[in-house]
Amino acid sequence: MNRRLFAAHSALLLIVASITGKAVLADPVDDSLQIDGTEIITRAPAPEGLPFDQVLSGWLFREAETRATEADSFANPGMLAVERGAEIWNTVEGTMGKSCASCHQDAAKTMKDVGAHYPKWDAASGKPLNVELRINKCRVDNMGAEPYKFDDPNQLALTSYIKHQSLGTPVGIDLSQGQMQSWWDRGKELYYTRTGQLNLACASCHEGATGKYIRADHLSQGQVNGFPTYRFNTAGMVSLHNRFRGCIRDTRAEMPAAFSDELMALEVYVTWRGTGLSVETPSVRQ
Amino acid sequence: MATTPKPRVRVPKSAAAGEVIVLKTLISHEMESGQRKDKDGKTIPRKIINKFTCEFNGQPVFSCDLDPAISANPYFEFSAKVTESGTFKLTWVDDDGSVYTDEQKIEVA
């Protein structure tokens, strides 16, 4: 082989590597997650239509200490919210003198795997409902209680408790019900639409730059299988719509209200993007 | 989480004599540092857990003072050598004088 040509080739490869940013990639780690003996799927084949082969849990992009905190359900501070949720589950509230348990009995049985399939189409309200809105509907219709305000600590705790009953179950939502498909379409449009003074779409970071640094942080695929999530930076539980709003705020755009049609459509679409990943609630992130 | 602080403690139920066991503790607490201000610019008063102790059959095993820089929901993990059956008594002391306790029995064979 021509020696000089070979050298030139190697040099070119090096240049290509530095342009594509290989050197600064904070790649997803090669690690596996079990929580209390339950295998957690952190890599799954990507659903048809996504530009990557695998969908990856945000857990793979976190520091070793953060990953270890989630892997140990005792050390995971998000479990405090789950325990609080269990108390709420059994607390009677509202004019009809009922608790969640009055109708749904033991959540470990009746709520098993339920959270993995939300948002779900609700014919009565003509829109998809997530777990938070489903709880509120139940409180109003069946308990005669006040609906929770957005990010009420009790809403976070009860949502975490219900989703935790699906720990390990792969996420999968049914788009064939009602008009779920058109909400998915709308969510997809929002996902790829650049907004704000920084002119960023969700896809700019979470699709085009996965694994790279954003300032000192690692960009994940922005999967939502672990929500509500415990974040060290706020030392508390963070709901999905809070996270959406935070991200949108950071692009310096106007934030849609929590549970607005925009964010519900986005939740439908982004949840679908994580099809096959296990529910990790309460996940731990930095 | 402005609810009443609730400790979580994990101690093995049994151990061999002379074995070194690991104790894990976590308590829900906001650990308000006293440095923050509310919406009206008023200082939010400090409210933290300022002391944690662990005793075994009345003998001190571990204790520490906590300061405002410690984040919410303080977590402690420490080890102890057990030579006899008995009870671990864990105590958290709050700035407002409240004391939260938990007891865990261990059988030593």
Residue B95: give its domain's CATH number.
Answer: 2.60.40.10
- pLDDT one-digit tens code per residue, A174-228: 999 999 999 999 999 999 999 999 999 999 999 989 889 888 888 999 999 999 9
Domain annotation covers residue B2: no
**pLDDT above 90 (res A81):** yes
Q: pLDDT value at position A211?
A: 87
Are A87 and A144 part of one and the same domain?
Answer: yes
Are A146 and A259 part of one and the same domain?
Answer: no
Work out the average pLDDT over A67-86: 93
Are A104 and A240 part of one and the same domain?
Answer: no
Are A55 and A153 part of one and the same domain?
Answer: no
**Percentage of chain A surpassing pLDDT 90?**
81
The domain of B32 spans 7-108
Residues of B with CB below 8 A from A81's CB? 1
Q: pLDDT value at position A61?
A: 93
For A167, other C-beta atoms within 10 Å of its C-beta total 21
Residues of A with CB below 8 A from B3's CB? 84, 153
Work out the average pLDDT over B7-19: 92
| Phi-psi region at A94: left, alpha or beta (left = phi > 0; alpha = psi -120 to 50) | left
* Reported confidence tier of residue A8, pLDDT bands at 50, 70, 90: very low
What is the average pLDDT value for chain A, to the nearest integer? 90
Q: How many domains does chain A have?
A: 2
Are A59 and A129 part of one and the same domain?
Answer: no
- pLDDT one-digit tens code per residue, B68-108: 999 888 999 999 999 999 999 999 999 999 999 999 999 99
- pLDDT one-digit tens code per residue, A104-137: 999 999 999 999 999 999 999 999 999 999 999 9
Q: pLDDT value at position B3?
A: 65
Contact (CB<8Å) B73/A77: yes
| CATH, residue A184 | 1.10.760.10
Q: pLDDT value at position A19?
A: 41
Written as one string, the DSSP assignment of A216-278 is: TEE------TT-SEEETTTTEEE-HHHHHHHHHHHTT-PPPPTT-HHHHHHHHHHHHHTTTPB
Are A65 and A201 part of one and the same domain?
Answer: yes
Are A193 and A58 part of one and the same domain?
Answer: yes
Are A250 and A272 part of one and the same domain?
Answer: yes
Domain annotation covers residue A130: yes
Chain B from 21 to 40: CB within 8 A of any A CB = 24, 26, 28, 31
Q: How many domains does chain B have?
A: 1
Are A272 and A241 part of one and the same domain?
Answer: yes
The domain of A156 spans 78-111+125-164
Domain annotation covers residue B73: yes
Q: pLDDT value at position A117?
A: 97
8 A C-beta contact, residue A206 and residue A221: yes
Are A262 and A194 part of one and the same domain?
Answer: yes
Minimal Cα–Cα distance from A75 to chain B, Å? Answer: 7
Helix (H) or strand (E) run with residue A31 in it: none
Are A139 and A184 part of one and the same domain?
Answer: no
* Reported confidence tier of residue A18, pLDDT bands at 50, 70, 90: very low
Distance, in Å, from the CA atom of A251 to the CA atom of A19, rounded to the nearest integer, reads 25
**pLDDT above 60 (res A9):** no
Are A243 and A209 part of one and the same domain?
Answer: yes
ipTM of the complex: 0.75
Residue A202: active-site member: no
Work out the average pLDDT over B33-61: 94
